[in-house]
Amino acid sequence: MGRRSQPRFSVVNPWEGTMRVLRDVVVDRNGDTELYAVSVAPGVVGEEMSLELITGVSRRSMRVRVVDSRPVIISGGVQHRLQLAMVDGFQAASAPLPSATPAVPGNLAEPV
C-alpha cells in the first residue's frame, strides 16, 4: 500500500480569526513599573501582552512588555522568570497592586 495521492482536507474559503493563549503565572512586584512573573513558557523580549492579576475579590488587567526571560529551576523543574515592564506605568488611583502579599496569581495572555 502506498501513500495517499489525494488531499484529505481542503479549505475552500480560508478562515480568519484570532486566538488568545492564557498561561497561569505567579507575579511579584518590583518597584512602581516593573513586575516579575514565573511561567512554564519562556517570554520573547519586546513582546507586549495582557496581564490579569487576581487577588481575593478583585481583578486588574494591564498591558506589559517582556524585558527579560530566563530559565530557573523550581521544585526540580524548569520554569521561566519573566521581567515585565508595565506599558502604561503604574496608576495608583485605579487599583493598586497588593503590597502585603509577596506574590499574586495571574493570567498572562499572548498578543492577539
Q: Beta strand 22-29 with 48-55: parallel, antiparallel or unpaired?
A: unpaired
d(CA 25, CA 49): 13
d(CA 42, CA 71): 7
Q: Would you state the pLDDT for residue 92? A: 42
Contact by Cβ (8 Å): 80, 70 = yes
Residue 97 lies in a domain: yes
User: Domains in the chain: how many in total?
Assistant: 1
Give the sign of the dihedral formed by CA 101, CA 109, CA 24, CA 28: negative
Residue 5 lies in a domain: no
- pLDDT tens-digit series, residues 52-100: 888 778 888 888 999 999 999 999 999 999 999 988 755 443 444 444 4
Predicted confidence (pLDDT) at residue 42 exceeds the cutoff of 60: yes
Range with the largest mean pLDDT of 7-11, 18-22, 34-38: 34-38
Q: Would you state the pLDDT for residue 24? A: 85
Residue 89 lies in a domain: yes
Residue 11 lies in a domain: no
Residue 99 lies in a domain: yes
CATH (domain of 105): 2.40.30
Longest CA span, the chain? 70
Residue 6 lies in a domain: no
The arithmetic mean of pLDDT across residues 17-26, rounded, is 79
Query: Which residues span the domain enclosing 86?
Result: 22-109
Residue 64 lies in a domain: yes
